[in-house]
Amino acid sequence: MENIVKLEPGKFYHIYNRGNNKGYIFFEERNYAYFLDRYKKYIAGIADTFAYCLLRNHFHFLVRLKASCDPLQSIASSQIPVNLSKPFSDFFNCYTKAINKACFRTGGLFEGPFGRIEVDTEEYLMQLLLYIHLNPQRHGIVKDFEKYSHSSYRLLISDESTFLRRDDVLGWFGSKESYIQAHRSYGDEAHVKQLVGDDD
């Protein structure tokens, strides 16, 4: 991954990675739930999450790093972690160890250090969220992105309890109906790829 940038409190980021040699990172259905469970354990204290999509060989998250974080992961005087990348690295290492044990494999699971791109405009923010949710359809995994079960699209318009910032996301679009319509009418693939820097 080329986008090795310093994570800073209060900023939005596109967090992503893929399997080593474009291989799988999710081997069984239960892996998706475990990945999210570990994500919440390691990342909820340092970041708000607005959207995600998990596919067999890669993933995407839209997050905002918190200005003040979990004291267990921070400097006592400032409440800001020494290195905001470390909780992410710890999370990926934890998941890799679990997968290696369960699948009787060894070595790295991910292609390299996780990708991170700062989301610095409102246009980028909105385009990225749409892009993340339409990823399964774009890759031909499903014919209809709305039916994909491992993204945050349906969770954000449901009444289920969630760790996601649902009210913020729906507020960006003005309403649940506008959120749905924006996804259904989404286009301009070339423009979005330029914004998100995705090559998977």
Give residue 150's pLDDT: 98
How far is Cα 148 from Cα 93, in angstroms, rounded to an integer? 26
Given a contact cutoff of 8 angstroms between Cβ atoms, the answer to whether 70 and 45 are in contact is yes
Domains and CATH numbers, the chain: 12-196 (3.30.70.1290)
CA-nearest of 23, 1, 24, 25 to 14 is 1
Chain-centre distance of CA 19, in angstroms? 15
Given a contact cutoff of 8 angstroms between Cβ atoms, the answer to whether 56 and 40 are in contact is no
Give residue 6's pLDDT: 87
How far is Cα 167 from Cα 2, in angstroms, rounded to an integer? 33
pTM reported for the whole predicted model: 0.87
Those residues of the chain that have pLDDT short of 50 are 1, 3, 71-78
Chain-centre distance of CA 151, in angstroms? 9
Q: Would you state the torsion angle of the CA atoms of residues 127, 26, 164, 46, taken in this order, to the nearest 10 degrees?
A: -100
What 3-state class would DSSP assign to 89?
Answer: helix
